[in-house]
């Protein structure tokens, strides 16, 4: 029944948005971490969403074609910032420390967009549930 | 005997819930790159369902067809503005469509309720 599928589809979206919000939380938490080299510096994590267009693409056990899943968690490839600070214990031989490449402002914006999408899908579920209950009411005498 | 009580609304309810499913897919994929929003051409599908006789179950073990091949009848929506990531879902438009589809679903439910209460009245002999 289609109404049941709506719960699955919107649920998969809630899940994907939650992964996105978790990635944002991790990025913000690590915004101020420093490292001794550019390779070790923290890089912002970005989830990549993918639509589930056929049965093959759906995760094991879920049948909700048309939902969304997190296909990959990629790292932001922007070059990390550098600061000359010889007093820092993490500084390299030249006295340079490497910052994370997290942009706090864009992370906050991403978090708001993610929260808004989450709310949208909650609303979809609420409406579907209400209609389901009304359909059940047909059997009331 | 009761075949004509609900008329077209029985099939309409099925179609309306399928349309809501398709719209919920669009909303779920609002942030998916390259996702193309889809919709159901409701009046076209309904008229086809009405005209063509659905597969008849002539044996107790037959399973009736739903009369709608969903992938074939879906159309791609044309967005008002294009986006950089190739996604054609416009959230506000989809929200409005979903809200309206929910109202239409309730309309069909109301018709079904009317049919049921008529049958109930007839059975009670009121």
Q: Render pLDDT for A6-15 as a digit per residue (tens, 0 to 9).
A: 998 999 999 9
Does residue B65 or residue B99 have the better pLDDT? B99
3-state secondary structure labels for all residues of B50-63: HHCCCCCCCCCCCC
The number of C-beta contacts closer than 8 angstroms across A and B is 89
- What are the residues whose beta carbons fall under 8 Å from the beta carbon of A85, sequence distance 6 or more? A91, A95, A96, A97
CB-closest option in B25, B102, B116 to A66: B25
Judged by CB atoms closer than 8 Å, whether chains meet at B24 and A49 is answered as: no
Chain A hits for B40, CB-CB cut-off 8 Å, are none
- Using the predicted structure, report yes or no on whether residue A59 has a pLDDT greater than 70: no
Q: What is the mean pLDDT of residues A107-130?
A: 94
Q: CA–CA separation, A137 vs A130, rounded Å?
A: 11
Looking at residue A66, what is its pLDDT? 81
Average pLDDT, chain B: 81
**Contact check, Cβ <8 Å, B21/A135:** no
Mean pLDDT along residues B54-59? 54
Average pLDDT over residues B31-47: 85
Residue B62 reports pLDDT greater than 70: no
Across the range B81-86, mean pLDDT stands at 89
* Model confidence pLDDT, tens digit, residues A31-52: 999 999 888 899 999 999 988 8
How buried is residue A97: exposed, middle or buried, by Cβ count under 10 Å (0-12/13-18/19+)?
A: buried
pLDDT at site B42? 76
pLDDT at B70 over 60: no
What residues contact residue B104 under an 8 Å CB cut-off, 6+ apart? B16
* CB spacing of B106 vs A131 below 8 angstroms: yes
In the predicted model, is pLDDT for residue A119 greater than 70? yes
Interface of B to A at Cβ within 8 Å reads 13-14, 17-18, 20-22, 24-25, 27-33, 35, 91, 95, 98-99, 102, 105-106, 109, 112-113, 116, 120
Task: Give A 61-120 residues with CB within 8 A of chain B.
Answer: 66-68, 113-114, 117, 120
Helices (H), A30-136: 104-136
Highest mean pLDDT among A67-81, B34-48, B75-89, B95-109: B95-109
pLDDT value of residue B67: 45
Distance CA A5, CA B54 (A): 24
Per-residue model confidence (pLDDT) at position B65 = 47
pLDDT of residue A57: 60
Closest to B91 (Cα-Cα) out of A128, A121, A130: A121
Which one, of A103, A98, A111, lies nearest residue A47 by Cα?
A111
**Residue A51 with chain B: CB contacts under 8 Å:** 25, 29, 32, 35
Confidence of residue B59 (pLDDT cuts 50, 70, 90): low
CB-based contacts of B34, cutoff 8 Å, min separation 6: B85, B86, B87
DSSP state letter for A57: G
What burial letters (b/e) apply to A55-94, b meaning 16+ CB within 10 Å? eeebeeeeebbbbbbbbeeeebeeebeeeeeeeeeebeee
For range B80-95, the mean pLDDT: 91
The answer to whether A36 faces chain B, any CB pair under 8 Å, is no
């Amino acid at each position: 029944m289609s109404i049941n599928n709506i719960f699955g589809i919107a649920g998969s979206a809630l899940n994907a948005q939650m992964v996105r919000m978790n990635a944002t939380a991790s990025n913000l938490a690590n915004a101020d971490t420093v490292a001794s080299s550019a390779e070790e510096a923290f890089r912002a994590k970005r989830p990549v969403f993918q639509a589930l267009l056929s049965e093959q693409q759906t995760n094991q056990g879920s049948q909700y074609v048309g939902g969304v899943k997190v296909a990959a968690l990629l790292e932001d490839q922007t070059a990390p910032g550098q600061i000359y600070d010889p007093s820092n214990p993490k500084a390299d031989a030249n006295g340079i420390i490497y910052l994370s490449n997290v942009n706090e402002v864009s992370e906050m914006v991403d978090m708001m967009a993610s929260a808004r999408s989450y709310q949208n899908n909650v609303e979809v579920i609420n409406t579907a549930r209400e209609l389901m209950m009304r359909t059940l009411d047909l059997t009331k005498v | 005997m009761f075949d004509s009580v609900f008329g077209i609304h029985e099939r309409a309810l099925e179609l309306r819930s399928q349309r809501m499913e398709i719209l919920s897919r669009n909303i779920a994929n609002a942030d998916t790159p390259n996702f193309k929003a889809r919709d159901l051409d409701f009046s076209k599908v309904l008229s086809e369902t009405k005209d063509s006789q659905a597969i008849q179950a002539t044996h107790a073990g037959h399973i009736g067809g739903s009369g709608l091949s969903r992938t074939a009848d879906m159309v791609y929506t044309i967005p008002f503005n294009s986006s950089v990531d190739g996604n054609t879902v416009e959230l506000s438009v989809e929200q409005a469509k979903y809200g309206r589809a929910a109202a239409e679903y309730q309309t069909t439910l109301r018709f079904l309720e009317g049919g049921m209460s008529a049958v109930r009245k007839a059975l009670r002999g009121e």
